[in-house]
């Protein structure tokens, strides 16, 4: 999604998104009226130390609790734009240092390098010197993963186009996102977030649901194997003659 992508058009479509649109318009209208100089940064899901909603912690906690697997929707192939706190701070500094270029503009922000949910889990697991088996479950039933996705109730991508801030202001990932995730894991291990009793109880319930989903997934795989399916042989659409003088190719053309 570039900065000029269609926005939420009504409260009925998406109330929160519509309120964001109204607020964004109010800020930029004030700039256009000459009341102040404004640059609006559209932040993604920010990760790193002191994040109020610790998505990475839910993965770290699973590993600390001895879990060997994690349920992810649709094989964990969803890409949701994230930005490491230090990288996102750099976005702010770049707008200040380049005021003549940035004033009156809107910029999408986010790490240039992005990961799928599955890769995100793999990097966190690797930082803790272990491995979590990813259990692919249709999104409709992958309920335990919704906390990790921060309210994401579908597995569609949410990917911001950050070309504008990179080309106009020179943004780059000051901290490699892979290293940033490892730093985040280290911080959580040293500073576990303080969660209330209901959160802990909820995680315990999620483990029970995950175990049931894993069992269903395993049973389904056995049924798939029993079908005896095999991949068809690939036939290249172009002729690949191995010897000169052939009148027809491998497809009889």
Segment 37-49, tens digit of pLDDT: 999 999 999 999 9
Polymer length in residues for the chain: 253
pLDDT number for residue 81: 95
> Nearest Cα to 88, choosing from 155, 162, 4?
162
> Nearest Cα to 112, choosing from 45, 61, 203, 174?
174
pLDDT number for residue 199: 58
What's the chain's average pLDDT? 92
Contacts of residue 77, Cβ cutoff 8 Å, sequence gap at least 6: 116, 117, 118, 155
User: Could you tell me the domains of the chain?
Assistant: 43-218 (3.40.50.720)
Which tokens go with 225? 């194997």
pLDDT number for residue 151: 62
pLDDT number for residue 155: 84
pLDDT number for residue 96: 96
> Nearest Cα to 62, choosing from 241, 220, 243, 185?
185
């Amino acid at each position: 999604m570039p900065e000029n992508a269609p926005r939420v058009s009504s409260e009925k479509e998406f109330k929160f998104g519509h309120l964001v649109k109204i607020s964004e318009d109010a800020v930029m209208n004030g700039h256009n009226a000459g009341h102040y100089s404004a640059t609006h940064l559209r932040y993604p899901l920010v990760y790193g130390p002191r994040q109020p909603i610790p998505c990475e912690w839910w993965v770290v906690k699973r590993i600390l609790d001895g879990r060997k697997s994690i349920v992810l929707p649709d094989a964990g192939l969803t890409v949701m734009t994230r930005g490491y706190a230090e990288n996102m701070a750099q976005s702010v500094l770049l707008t200040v240092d380049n005021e003549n270029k940035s004033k009156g503009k809107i910029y999408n922000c986010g790490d240039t390098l992005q990961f799928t949910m599955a890769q995100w889990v793999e990097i966190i697991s690797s930082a803790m010197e272990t491995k979590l088996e990813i259990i692919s479950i249709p999104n409709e039933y992958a309920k335990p993963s919704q906390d990790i996705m921060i309210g994401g109730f579908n597995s569609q991508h949410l990917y911001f186009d950050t070309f504008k801030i990179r080309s106009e202001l020179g943004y780059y990932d000051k901290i490699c996102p892979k290293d940033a995730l490892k730093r985040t894991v280290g911080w959580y291990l040293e500073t576990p977030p303080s969660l209330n009793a209901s959160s802990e109880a909820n995680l315990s319930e999620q483990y029970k649901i995950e175990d049931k989903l894993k069992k269903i997934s395993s049973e389904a795989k056995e049924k798939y194997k029993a079908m005896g399916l095999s991949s068809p042989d690939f036939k290249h659409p172009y002729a690949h003659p191995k010897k000169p003088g052939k009148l027809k190719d491998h497809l009889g053309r």
